[in-house]
Chains A and B, each alone.
Chain A
C-alpha cells in the first residue's frame, strides 16, 4: 500500500524566512511525486512534479529515495505563498494520486 505523510498541519513563518514543507512517502516501487497548492478562494492546482526538476514560484522539491522524502522548499517566503499545500504520490501505472493530509502555510508580513 502507498501512503503520503505530511507531518505538519500548520507552518507559520515570517516573510523572507526559509520554508520547508515536509512530505514522506511509503511505496515499494518507483514513485511519481507531485505538489499541489490551493490558494484562498482558488482551485487546487499542480505546483510541481518531481520529474520536471524545475523551480516554480521559487519552490523546489527534491526526491530523496533513501529517506523516502519529497520536501518542498523555498529560500525566502512571500506573503502570497500563504496557502494549503498537498503532497501527492502516484504508483506505477496508476491513474489517480494519493494525497497527503496537507500543510497550511501562513506567511506573516
Chain B
C-alpha cells in the first residue's frame, strides 16, 4: 500500500492563480481531511469528509474548496491564491472514529504564494 499520497510536493503560485492539491489514499478509509501547518499555529483543519459525497468545513475553510467523488480521492482547490495561503498542506485519512482512531498523513505539499 502507498498509504496517503499528495501531489505536488512543492508549488509556487502568483497571487490570484488557482490550483488543485491532490490527495489519494489506497486504504479504503472513510474519513479524509486537509490541514495547513503554519509556524506557531500548529495544524489547523481546513475541510474534511466522512465519506464519498460528504464534505464539511473545518476551522479555516475560506479560500478553499473540496469535493469527494470517490473514497480514494480528496482534492483541495485554491480558488484565487493569496500570500496568506503560503503554508504546508497535509492530507490525512482514518478508518475509525473514537478511542482507536489513527490519522494517517501524507507527506505534505509546500505551497508558496507570491
Q: Are A86 and B42 in contact (CB under 8 A)?
A: yes
Is there contact, CB below 8 Å, between B105 and A43?
yes
Tell me whether A90 and B41 are in contact in the complex, defined as CB-CB below 8 angstroms, given that A95-B31, A95-B48, A96-B48 are known contacts.
no
Number of interface residues of B (CB under 8 A): 27
* A14-22, A44-52, A74-82 - the one binding chain B: A44-52
Question: Would you give the 0/1 interface string for A86-106, flagging 1 where the beta carbon is closer than 8 Å to chain B?
Answer: 101010111111111110000
Known: A94-B97, A96-B48. A101 touches B40 (CB 8 A): yes
Taking CB atoms, residues of chain A closer than 8 Å to B90 are: 44
Question: B101 within 8 Å of A by Cβ?
Answer: yes
> What's the nearest-Cβ distance from chain B to residue A22, in Å?
14
A35–B39 CA distance with the chains assembled, in angstroms: 18
Q: How far is the CA of A6 from the CA of B43 in the complex (A)?
A: 12
Interface size for A (C-beta < 8 A) is 26
8 A Cβ contacts from B74-114 to A: 90, 92, 94, 97-103, 105-108
Instruction: Give me 16 A-to-B residue pairs in the complex whose CB atoms sit less than 8 angstroms apart, sorted by A's number.
Output: A32-B99, A32-B101, A44-B92, A86-B43, A88-B103, A90-B97, A90-B98, A90-B101, A92-B98, A95-B50, A96-B48, A96-B58, A97-B101, A99-B43, A99-B45, A100-B42
